Amino acid sequence: MVALAIIAAVVLLQLLIANSDMTGALGAIASMWLGVHRVPVSIGGSSLGVMPLLPVLAMVYGTARTTASATVSTSWFVTRWVVASALGGPVLIAALCLAVIHDAASVLTELQTPDALRAFGSVLTVHAIGALLGVGSRVGRHLLRTSPLPKWLPDAVRAAGAGVLTLMGLSGAIVAGSLIVHWSTMHELYSITDSMFGQLSLTVLSTLYIPNVMVGAAAVAVGSSAHVGLATFSSFTVFGGDIPALPVLAAVPTPPLGPVWVALLIVAAVSGVALGQQCARHPLPLLSALAKVVVAAAIAAATMALLGVAGGGALGNFGDVGVDQTTFGPAVFLWFAGIGALTVAMSGGIKARVRRPKVAAAAAETDTEAEAGEVTTEPEAAPDEEPVDTVEIEPVQTATDPDPGPGPVVDNQPVARPPREDEPPLEDLDPEEHFIVDDIDGGADDAGGNRGGSAG
């Protein structure tokens, strides 16, 4: 609804400035709303399929933010209604726009009704991506904890986002630098109109198409190619051709190709490093770390391929505009997977396997044998050495052991003490009359005697 209101304001302002009547206002508003969702617009037999990416990205962001704010519970019953609302409302508006365009086409013969299946499919795709991003930001981690998927999957998604943003950001910097270098060409493209309103319209239109040009620059950076009709651009060669008179397209290289464009490959390498650094934030074992890099590279490649599809299409008599899809996605994956894996290995993202030291293992085995009573005091002689004679050392009587005792302790059993002459027989003793507390000295003597007996 917000997009529809903005489009209506822009269309009415354009008609007022052009001193035109409001006959085709509703048809223009409906066509532009569908165009924001990448639905081709056909006017006078010419099809405009290359829609600007900036409104599409803004629509995805708005849908994601709205659904994220509406998802206040992890219940599936609540979440499915949020997603259904995010999809059902735009589909209803798309149906109304198709009806308005069909009605306006009966008055304006140059306006043609777009394909209904393509219109509904594009609207559903745009809002489904936004709804999944918004709901996933709220309940994604909860679902991951209860699923058998690996726990490092959010880190892989974050790394893929970092790689895509780095690639697009550096490509934007390259586009800005190229516009400065080709400033005279951009000035010539602005000179096709003398009115201030026309130049303002060209500026706004160029701003909306900047993401499309950035995607083309990213394709050139990873080793693929971009084309505008017959004109083809890559890091290694350029084939000239007619291009539309849009000021932002002054950034495209002109033949002959200089060596500076080959330096675009550094952009792809730096983007792979950014992805690898994000993957190395939480070290994992070797196989898990490599799997995380591969998954992140695959997500980034799929995202860039989707942007390449969304930023291309037919452009009237100029032909097809876009990137080479057969090489764009695989090239992004190879750069991100190769450079990312190397960065993970160099940044400490691989957790070393902890091995049990041999000394600790031997000590544990010795303790186990000691508990089982299998430890021997005589070491085994080496094969080439003669056995060493052992010498028995007699125990030394100390001052604290006054009575070491006559004999050794056999099998850990105490030696029975013979009864003294002044003691009565055991059967005549009453146990209750002889409950006494041992004194310290006697206990020490007894303990010393026992120790002496044990030592003997």
pLDDT given at position 165: 94
Q: Quick check: is 390 in a domain?
A: no
pLDDT given at position 297: 94
- Please check whether residue 33 is in contact with residue 6, taking contact to mean a CB–CB distance below 8 angstroms: no
Task: Give the end of a domain, one of 133, 149, 165.
Answer: 149
pLDDT given at position 444: 44
Residues 456 and 336 in one domain: no
CA 292 to chain centre: 8
Give the angle subtended at the CA of 257 by the CAs of 170 and 207, to the nearest 5°.
40
- Whole-angstrom CA distances from 268 to 26, 157, 237, 265 are 45, 18, 18, 5
Beta strands in 102-161 (DSSP E): 111-112
Task: Give the end of a domain, one of 359, 374, 389.
Answer: 374
Residues 313 and 218 in one domain: yes
> Tens digit of pLDDT per residue, the chain (456 long)?
888 888 888 888 877 877 777 777 888 888 888 988 888 887 766 778 888 899 999 999 999 999 988 887 767 778 888 899 999 999 999 999 999 888 887 777 777 888 889 899 999 999 999 999 988 888 877 777 777 888 888 889 899 999 999 999 999 999 998 888 888 888 888 888 777 887 888 888 889 999 999 999 999 989 888 988 888 888 888 887 778 888 888 888 877 776 777 778 889 999 999 999 998 888 888 888 899 999 999 999 999 999 999 888 888 778 888 898 889 999 999 999 999 999 998 888 787 765 555 555 555 555 555 454 444 444 444 444 444 444 444 554 444 444 545 545 444 555 555 555 555 555 555 555 555 555 544 444 444 444 444 443
Q: Phi/psi of residue 314, each to 5°?
A: -85, 145
Residues 205 and 321 in one domain: yes
Residues 42 and 169 in one domain: no
Cβ of 81: how many Cβ atoms within 10 Å? 13
Q: Quick check: is 387 in a domain?
A: no
Structural domain tally of the chain?
3
Residues 204 and 332 in one domain: yes
Residues 59 and 186 in one domain: no
- Angle between helix axes 25-36 and 2-17 (nearest 10 degrees) is 130
Residue 47: enclosing H or E segment and its boundaries? Answer: strand 46-48
Which single residue is written with the structure tokens 């008179």?
Answer: 245
Q: What residue numbers bound the domain in which 96 lies?
A: 1-149
Q: Quick check: is 199 in a domain?
A: yes
pLDDT given at position 446: 47
Residues 226 and 341 in one domain: yes
Q: Quick check: is 143 in a domain?
A: yes
Residues 273 and 363 in one domain: yes
pLDDT given at position 164: 94
Residues 316 and 172 in one domain: yes
| DSSP-assigned letters across all residues of 79-141 | HHHHHHHHHHHHHHHHHHHHHHHHHHHTT-TTEEPPPHHHHHHHHHHHHHHHHHHHHHHHHHH
Residues 354 and 432 in one domain: no
Q: Quick check: is 385 in a domain?
A: no
Task: Give the end of a domain, one of 104, 131, 149.
Answer: 149
Residues 352 and 282 in one domain: yes
- Please check whether residue 175 is in contact with residue 214, taking contact to mean a CB–CB distance below 8 angstroms: yes
Q: Quick check: is 381 in a domain?
A: no
Q: Phi/psi of residue 237, each to 5°?
A: -155, 160
Q: What is the dihedral of CA 87, 93, 96, 97, to 10 degrees?
A: -110
Q: Quick check: is 394 in a domain?
A: no
Q: Quick check: is 125 in a domain?
A: yes
Residues 97 and 161 in one domain: no
- Please check whether residue 156 is in contact with residue 292, taking contact to mean a CB–CB distance below 8 angstroms: yes
Contacts of 230 by beta carbon, 8 Å cutoff, 6+ apart = 239, 241, 242, 319
